Chain A
Amino acid sequence: MKAVGARLPRYDAMGHVTGTTQFVDDVRVPRMLWAKMLRSPHHHAAITRMDTSRAEAMPGVRAVITWEDVPLLTYGHLEALGIPADEPLLAKDEVRYKGQPIALVAAEDVDTAMAGVDAIDIEYSERPALFDVRKAFDSDSAQIHPWGNWYPHFEGEMDRRKIRKGDIDEAFEQADKIISGVYRPAAIEHVPVETQVCLAVPESDGRLTIYSCTQALYFTMGVIAAHLQVPLNKLKVVGGTVGGGFGGKVDTASDTVSALAAMKAGRPVKWRWTREEEFLASSTRAPWHMEIIDAVTDNGWILGRKMLTLHDSGAYARFSPYGVTKHSFHHTGAYTIPNLHFDGYVVFTNRVPTTAMRGFGVTSISFAVETHMSRVANELGMDPYEVRLLNANRINDTSPNRIRYTDPSTVDVLQSLAGAEGVQLEGAYAGMTRDPRSGDLLPDHLVGQLKTEGH
């Protein structure tokens, strides 16, 4: 029997239904300590004083970890992709969001660890906070980072991701209608049923075993090794079985600090986030602010698109510049628009840093583009299937970043939905294919964007 194409049960199905699948929190090791984190109670503040000596002296407390214990405090998860580091593993002199980690206490039990957190003496001086990305550019806005309120390092020095294609002015000139709209999908939580959790175990050979809920074992190992300034063979990351991730367990927030605590205490340390921490202090999907202005003709062609995106990154960059770049490359959705002018900013606010989540960078664009497409169809009095099929990606059409589409299925998908819905498409639309444009489907404005070889 062939396995590919077969409805085989999950490899791990029996373990799941009998409760024998081992997740991180299920690993048992002797002499394990529990950890709790001191988190910022303020959205934006200077830390003016911190003294952990009372906590360290408490019976049952075995280690307190602050920024001073981290060999490399600030490391960027995507430094390899040219995104500089801007976020300390533990806050040093400033906190930029409520819930930001400051100090970890490892103790014999959970209650002692919590008491240890309470025993840390810390004082803050609150600073003005910024929450609305639309006000981040205002002269009287609160300032979040020394360099400003938006990410300045696209391709080294650009303060925004730009797409420029064709002649946007000409498109607006030629348009019968210019239709604009604003789209604002919300931040949402990943809500894995398994909260963030790590168990770090010092081994007799001087290595550290790190039981991680990461979605990416090697990525996580690299991040831990960078912060700890150790070679990779010092670490063994154990995982591969994750209780839900959805993008929220790529830049895992628990591993490195747990490892530091385990090293300092010389004992295994488990740090399992509460559900409240998961909801309030873990990263979210980003909220996005998107403005689309489309130049359209009365017969349904989209000649050009001007777009502004403000990505609410929260307090730090994390994966956001990558997400906005990906977003920009897909800002025409499943359609071909030859004239484009896109500006996308990664804007900082004093909220929990946002991160990857299912559909990263594109979930936002799909909502904006498709809702706008429905409005365009409505304004033009056209059938929603037909306006989409007309502008659909075809072989040899090019994307915003000028990749040639070799296998686009916009047409197939729309026709299959029409079929399922019992919608009778008019002849030309019913017979449409993914094949390269010709005849009526290759109007003058689409000729220049075609690419018949290469990428």
Chain B
Amino acid sequence: MAVHRGRGIAAIEYPTGMNQNGDPSQAWIKVKPDGRIDVFSGTADIGNGAKTIQSQIVADTIGVPYEWVTFDNSNTDSSPVCTGTFASRATFVAGKAVLKAAREVQRKLLDVAAQEMEISPEDLEIEDGRVSVKGLPDEGMDVGEVAGAAVYGHGILVTGTGAQLNPYAAFTDPGTGEVDSPPHAAISYAGCVAEVEVDDVTGEVRVTKLTQSYDVGRAINPSLVEGQIQGGAIMGLGLGVLETSYPYYPSVEHRGSGFGSYYAPSPLDMPDLETIIIENPSEDGPYGAKGIGEMANNSQPAAIATAVYDAIGVWITELPITPEAVLKALDKKAAGEDQPRRDGKMVIFDEDLSVNTVGAGLQWTA
């Protein structure tokens, strides 16, 4: 009777966006007479931080302080089309729509400022809410003055629109799965090392540490990136050792109907978390960003399953790895029934779980 320690690794990739329908996102921006910026985007914020990230992109792209930006995603009357907040697309795809809209706003502000200052717009730049002559930072005017001049002097409504539409993905050959255009907008990469403790008396698997590495392209907001990575890690931990809608799947009995009978991770399940953020800028994401929210719970389950093998020498490939599953696997091991069947160069694991063993209508072999 003992607690066994183990360690396991997993590396993964994940596609951002869903180009089957062109995956459109659109945004528009207007400028108030004092230079304050109103962004209208259709991207819902489900906690991922779309309001924050898209506002940050707009602030820097126009060249105004973040505090000047208001963000409205509240309704379909004022906000344009956005496919939605899923597929890790809120930053990578929808972020490009606000980026394009912000560029147009900046261009129009520079045009007005150029007329006011009787100078070519190419010689001007905007930073921190001020338009200035390149190389002569003291020569210029505040964005607020420019915006006021647009309304009251030039009769111009300063707006910008941005629309992101990706190439439609289509199969060149459905029979082989070959496509002629990517069904995703980008691919992101991540990995995880899980450390576990397995109690061979109770069967409990405790995840003690998750060391995770993500290529995020560019962290537009490092705290929000950490939020995705840490929140995803605990969801992945849940997948690995805690959660199931059907405790005796495929049976539909014994479903958990409340928090006392469905085990979503609690603060007491927290492992130590170590995070590596790789900034390898993407070719076409906004400011080099990649989308990572979805993949954030994908690497932990395999790393945990491998760590459990490392700890107690049994492979458990049905999730979650519950105490009951661990004890059953240890019993099989003790009975010498845990080994794969070996036949020539064939090494056959999990034969009891296979469709060939359980079903009759679909026979599937190497």
Contact = CB atoms under 8 A, between A and B. Distances in A.
A301 to B, nearest CB: 14
Nearest to B180: A455
Interface string B36-72: 0000001111110101100111011000011000011
Interface in A356-389: 356, 358-360, 362-363, 366-371, 373-375, 378-379, 384-385, 388
A370 B299 contact: yes
Interface string A388-422: 10001100000011110111111011101100110
B355 A308 contact: yes
B177 A393 contact: no
Contacts of A98: 252
A236 B348 CA distance: 56
Interface string A172-183: 100111111111
Interface string B205-245: 00000010111001111111000000010010011000111
Contacts of B85: 215-216, 242, 245
Contact of A218 (B81, B264, B346): B81
Interface string B325-365: 00000000000000000000111111001110011111010
B151 to A, nearest CB: 25
B280 A420 contact: no
Interface stretch (B112-120, B132-140, B142-150, B168-176): B168-176
A308 B364 CA distance: 8
Contact of A3 (B66, B302, B305): B66
Contact of B246 (A187, A366, A371, A420): A187
A413 B278 contact: yes
Contacts of A177: 345-347
A312 B190 CA distance: 27
A149 B215 CA distance: 40
B191 A417 contact: yes
A6 B232 contact: no
Size bracket of the B interface: 35 or more
Given A250-B86, A329-B183, A287 B246 contact: yes
Contact of B358 (A132, A181, A384, A421): A132
B366 A178 contact: yes
A279 B258 contact: yes
B355 A289 contact: yes
Interface stretch (B103-111, B158-166, B196-204, B315-323): B315-323
B36 to A, nearest CB: 15
A81 interface: yes
Interface centre among A236, A349, A366, A384 (most CB of B within 10 A): A366
A311 interface: no
A81 B87 CA distance: 16
Interface in A273-315: 275-276, 279-280, 284-285, 287, 289, 291, 293, 306, 308, 310, 312
A89 B49 CA distance: 32
A370 B355 contact: no
A127 B235 CA distance: 36
B317 A8 contact: no
Contacts of B218: 4-5
A17 interface: no
Contacts of B243: 186, 188-189
Interface residues of A, number: 142
B128 interface: yes
A155 B171 contact: yes
A279 B259 CA distance: 9
A135 B301 CA distance: 26
A165 interface: yes
Contacts of B177: 161-165, 328-329, 342, 400-402
Given A189-B245, A409-B189, A162 B174 contact: yes
A417 B276 contact: yes
Contact of A370 (B12, B57, B274): B12
A284 B43 CA distance: 23
Given A11-B51, A186-B319, A367-B301, A180 B347 contact: yes
Interface string B292-322: 0111111101110110010000010111100
A227 interface: no
Nearest to B361: A137
B347 A179 contact: yes
Interface in B71-93: 71-77, 79, 81-87
A438 to B, nearest CB: 21
A413 B191 contact: yes
A124 to B, nearest CB: 17
A180 B355 CA distance: 13
Nearest to A350: B252
Nearest to A241: B45
Nearest to B251: A131
A362 B295 contact: yes
17 contacts: A7-B222, A164-B177, A165-B177, A177-B346, A183-B318, A184-B249, A187-B244, A188-B243, A280-B257, A330-B14, A334-B189, A343-B364, A359-B296, A366-B302, A374-B309, A403-B182, A409-B278
Given A242-B85, A407-B282, 5 more contacts: A5-B287, A178-B345, A334-B11, A334-B13, A408-B13
Which A-B residue pairs are the 8 nearest by beta carbons? Answer: A216-B84, A137-B361, A370-B302, A155-B174, A240-B73, A409-B189, A182-B350, A370-B10
